[in-house]
Amino acid sequence: MTMAHPSICFLGTAFKTPTPLFISTGECELLFAENVKLYEELKAVPGNNVELQIGQAAPHDIIAVGEMLGFEKEAILGVRRAGEFWERSR
C-alpha cells in the first residue's frame, strides 16, 4: 500500500459519507493548502456535511496542541466550533 492509496490520502478521491466531517487546520499549518483543498473536495459531494475551521496564525491541530504552543484561546474557540458543528449535525 502506498501513500497515494485513497484510504491513506483523501485528496483527489472525495467520497460521499453520512458522517459529518469537521476539518480543523491552522493558517501556519504546513499542509494548510491541502487541508483546504480536501475540505473543498468533500464539500462538493452532494449530501456531505463538512465544515472547515481555520485557526488564525495557528500551527498544526490547534485543538490538540494549542495549550502547549501558547494558543490556548484559539484552541478553546476551535473546540467550541467543533461542539457547535456536532450539535447542528445531530
Q: pLDDT tens string for the chain (90 positions)? A: 556 777 777 788 899 999 999 999 989 989 999 999 999 999 999 999 999 999 888 887 788 888 888 888 888 988 999 999 999 998
**What cell does 68 get?**
502547549
How far is the C-alpha of 4 from the C-alpha of 7, rounded, in Å?
8
pTM for the model: 0.83
> Between the CA of residue 69 and those of 27, 32, 53, 57, 72, what are the distances in Å?
14, 18, 18, 12, 8
